[in-house]
Structure 1
Amino acid sequence: MSATPSSDDVLDPQVEVLTLPDVAQRLDLPVTKVRQALRDGHLVAVRRDGVLRVPAAFLTEDGAIVKGLPGTITVLADAGFTQEEMVRWLFTADDTLPGRPIDALRATGGREVKRRAQALAL
């Protein structure tokens, strides 16, 4: 089994992050499936205080991964972004979006966010 990919913690300390068992509980999945989602690029994790954690903003209130997030992660990976760069981009305010790209994904499912991510690859 391969190691679970992660980023250095480049998030503002105020950004809520969840441990993998907490993510598993919210998604109603075993932790092994959460680790698989990380390896498959459906989620990105950071290491905060040496513990692997997932930003809470990546999950919906009703226990799902935010619509459009896995596709956006794939587009960013295809553009050559590291996991650290992906996390930084998703959580950096953009005046032309309603806040940060992660906020736009949560609000609309991310068609515009994915379009912008694709443009970064050009």
Structure 2
Amino acid sequence: MTESVPADVQPIDPTGWLTLPDVAERFEVSISKVHQMIRDRELLAVRRDGVRLVPAELVANQTVRKHLPGILTLLHDAGYDDDAVLRWLYLPDDTLPGTPAEALGGDRAREVKRRAQATGF
């Protein structure tokens, strides 16, 4: 997927990562349920050094951020793979402010969803 972001704009790193067993423990579900959530695009996991990890900002207490599953579906439908979705979520955006991933935890979550929807057009 080619993104319409200037090449000199670099995504920032998530503030932390959770392993899949960590997510299962936090959600109080089995590891197989976490794998199912990833397959169903309810949760994003990427490989780092051979280990699947979830950005900590995408997890809220015992569930995923409210609008995350919809955003993941919209971006995947627009042709983004998991790494491109991660990049999109962590590109700095002064109009939010911060990154889309950070905005998911606040009152700008619907704006992030609207922007994800616009990527398909």
Q: Same fold judged by TM-score > 0.5?
A: yes
1:77 alignment counterpart:
76
Q: Compute the RMSD of aligned alpha carbons.
A: 1.6
Whole-angstrom CA distance in 1 between matches of 2:16 and 2:25: 16
The Cα of 1:77 is off from its aligned counterpart by 1.0
The Cα of 1:98 is off from its aligned counterpart by 2.3
Q: After TM superposition, what 4+ stretches of structure 1 lie above 2 angstroms from structure 2?
A: none
Identity of matched residues, %: 50
1:4 alignment counterpart:
none
Q: Secondary structure at the match of 1:107?
A: coil
2:16 alignment counterpart:
16
Aligned 1:19-34 pairs, distance under 5 A: 19-34=19-34
Per-residue deviation, residues 3-26 of structure 1 (Å, max 9, x unmatched): xxxxxxx863x6311111000001
1:54 alignment counterpart:
54
Q: Secondary structure at the match of 2:63?
A: coil
User: Contact 1:38–1:44 (CA<8 Å) still a contact in 2?
Assistant: yes
Whole-angstrom CA distance in 1 between matches of 2:108 and 2:62: 15
1:3 alignment counterpart:
none
**Which ranges of structure 2 fall in alignment gaps of 5 or more residues?**
1-10
Is 2:103 aligned against 1:104? yes
Change (3 A) 1:101 1:65: same
Change (3 A) 1:73 1:63: same
Q: Secondary structure at the match of 1:86?
A: helix
Per-residue deviation, residues 27-63 of structure 1 (Å, max 9, x unmatched): 1111000000000001111112211111111111x21
User: Contact 2:12–2:91 (CA<8 Å) still a contact in 1?
Assistant: no
